[in-house]
A and B are shown apart, each in its own frame.
Chain A
Amino acid sequence: MAKKSKEKELVTTPAVTWENYEYQDDDFVLRGNTVDTKTDSNFASQSYWKDVRVRFFAKKSAVISLICIIIFTLLAILGPMMTDYTYSKQNLEEQNLAPRIPGLENLGIFDGDETISTTTGSKTVNRYEEMGLDDTYYWFGSDTLGRDIWTRVWSGTQVSLIIAAVSTVINIVIGMVYGLISGYFGGVVDTIMQRISEVFNGIPRLVIVILLMLVFEPGLMTIIIALILTEWIKMSRITRAEVLKFKEQEFVLASKTLGAKSMFIIFKNILPNMIGPVITQLMLSIPTAIYTEAFLSFVGLGIPQPRCSLGSLISDAFNCFMTHPYQILPPLIVMSLLMLCFNLLADGLRDALDPKMKEM
Chain B
Amino acid sequence: MRRFQFSVFKINESGVSVKKYILNRILISIATLLAILLVLFILMQLMPGSPFNDEKLDDEQRAVLYEKYGLDDPVIVQFGRYVWNMIRGDLGVSYNISRNTPITQLIQNRLPISLAIGGYAVLLGAVVGLILGIISALMRGTFVDSLCTIISVIGIAVPSYVFALALSYYFGFKLQWFPMLYDSSQAFNSSVMPAISLGMFTMASIARFTRSEMLEVLDSEYILLAESKGISGASLIFRHALRNTLIPIITVLAPLIVDLMTGSLVVEKIFSIPGVGSLLVTAIQSNDYNVIIALSFIYSAMYIGIMLVVDILYGIIDPRIRLAKDGGK
Taking Cβ atoms with an 8 Å cutoff, the residues of A that contact B are 117, 195, 198-199, 202-207, 210-211, 213-215, 287, 291, 294-295, 298-301, 314, 318, 321-322, 325, 328, 332, 335-336, 339-340, 342-344, 347, 359-360
Chain A residues whose CB sits within 8 angstroms of the CB of B296 once the complex forms: 207, 210-211
Chain B residues whose CB sits within 8 angstroms of the CB of A300 once the complex forms: 281, 284-285
The reply to whether A215 and B43 form a contact with Cβ atoms under 8 Å apart is yes
Taking Cβ atoms with an 8 Å cutoff, the residues of B that contact A are 28-29, 31-33, 35-36, 39-40, 43, 46, 153-154, 156-159, 161-162, 165, 169, 173, 212, 215-216, 258, 261-262, 265-266, 269-270, 280-281, 284-285, 289, 292, 296, 299-300, 303-304, 307
- Further contacts, 18 of them, CB under 8 A, given A202-B300, A344-B153: A199-B31, A202-B28, A203-B300, A204-B299, A206-B265, A210-B284, A210-B296, A211-B39, A211-B40, A213-B284, A214-B289, A295-B265, A318-B165, A335-B162, A336-B158, A340-B154, A347-B153, A359-B216
Cβ contact of A199, chosen from B28, B261, B266, cutoff 8 A: B28
CA distance A322 to B303 in the complex (A): 35
Chain A residues whose CB sits within 8 angstroms of the CB of B289 once the complex forms: 214
CA distance A253 to B265 in the complex (A): 51
* Pairs across A and B, CB under 8 Å, 12 listed: A199-B31, A203-B300, A203-B303, A205-B258, A205-B262, A206-B261, A207-B36, A207-B299, A299-B285, A318-B165, A339-B158, A343-B156
Chain B residues whose CB sits within 8 angstroms of the CB of A340 once the complex forms: 153-154, 157-158
The reply to whether A359 and B36 form a contact with Cβ atoms under 8 Å apart is no
Minimal Cβ-Cβ distance residue in B for A202:
B32
CA distance A325 to B262 in the complex (A): 25
The reply to whether A287 and B300 form a contact with Cβ atoms under 8 Å apart is no
Chain A residues whose CB sits within 8 angstroms of the CB of B161 once the complex forms: 295, 298, 314
Chain A residues whose CB sits within 8 angstroms of the CB of B216 once the complex forms: 359
Chain A residues whose CB sits within 8 angstroms of the CB of B281 once the complex forms: 299-300
Min CB distance B303 to A, Å, is 4
Chain A residues whose CB sits within 8 angstroms of the CB of B43 once the complex forms: 211, 214-215
The reply to whether A328 and B165 form a contact with Cβ atoms under 8 Å apart is yes
The reply to whether A203 and B32 form a contact with Cβ atoms under 8 Å apart is yes
Minimal Cβ-Cβ distance residue in A for B307:
A202
Chain A residues whose CB sits within 8 angstroms of the CB of B35 once the complex forms: 199, 202-203
- Count A/B pairs, Cβ under 8 Å: 111
CA distance A86 to B265 in the complex (A): 32
Chain B residues whose CB sits within 8 angstroms of the CB of A204 once the complex forms: 258, 261, 299-300, 303
Minimal Cβ-Cβ distance residue in B for A218:
B284
The reply to whether B32 and A206 form a contact with Cβ atoms under 8 Å apart is no
Cβ contact of A301, chosen from B36, B156, B284, B299, cutoff 8 A: B284
CA distance A310 to B81 in the complex (A): 44
Minimal Cβ-Cβ distance residue in A for B209:
A360
Given A318-B270, A336-B158, residue A203 in contact with residue B36 (CB < 8 A): yes
CA distance A213 to B296 in the complex (A): 13
CA distance A332 to B29 in the complex (A): 38
Given A210-B296, A214-B289, A360-B212, residue A195 in contact with residue B158 (CB < 8 A): no
CA distance A298 to B284 in the complex (A): 11
Chain B residues whose CB sits within 8 angstroms of the CB of A211 once the complex forms: 39-40, 43, 292, 296
Pairs A-B, 5 closest by C-beta atoms: A202-B32, A340-B157, A343-B157, A204-B303, A207-B296
The reply to whether B157 and A339 form a contact with Cβ atoms under 8 Å apart is yes
Minimal Cβ-Cβ distance residue in B for A209:
B262
Candidate in B29, B39, B266, B281 with the most chain A CB atoms within 10 angstroms: B266
Minimal Cβ-Cβ distance residue in A for B25:
A198
The reply to whether B215 and A359 form a contact with Cβ atoms under 8 Å apart is yes
Chain A residues whose CB sits within 8 angstroms of the CB of B280 once the complex forms: 210
The reply to whether A336 and B32 form a contact with Cβ atoms under 8 Å apart is no
The reply to whether B303 and A202 form a contact with Cβ atoms under 8 Å apart is yes
The reply to whether B262 and A206 form a contact with Cβ atoms under 8 Å apart is yes
Candidate in A206, A300, A335, A344 with the most chain B CB atoms within 10 angstroms: A206
Minimal Cβ-Cβ distance residue in B for A204:
B303
Given A206-B262, A211-B43, A339-B157, residue A359 in contact with residue B165 (CB < 8 A): no
Chain A residues whose CB sits within 8 angstroms of the CB of B215 once the complex forms: 359
Given A205-B262, A299-B265, A299-B284, residue A199 in contact with residue B32 (CB < 8 A): yes
CA distance A314 to B164 in the complex (A): 13
Cβ contact of A336, chosen from B36, B162, B212, B261, cutoff 8 A: B162
Given A295-B265, A343-B156, residue A195 in contact with residue B284 (CB < 8 A): no
Min CB distance A110 to B, Å, is 20
Min CB distance B91 to A, Å, is 15
The reply to whether B266 and A298 form a contact with Cβ atoms under 8 Å apart is yes
The reply to whether B269 and A298 form a contact with Cβ atoms under 8 Å apart is yes
CA distance A159 to B165 in the complex (A): 23
CA distance A335 to B270 in the complex (A): 18
The reply to whether B299 and A206 form a contact with Cβ atoms under 8 Å apart is yes
CA distance A45 to B161 in the complex (A): 48
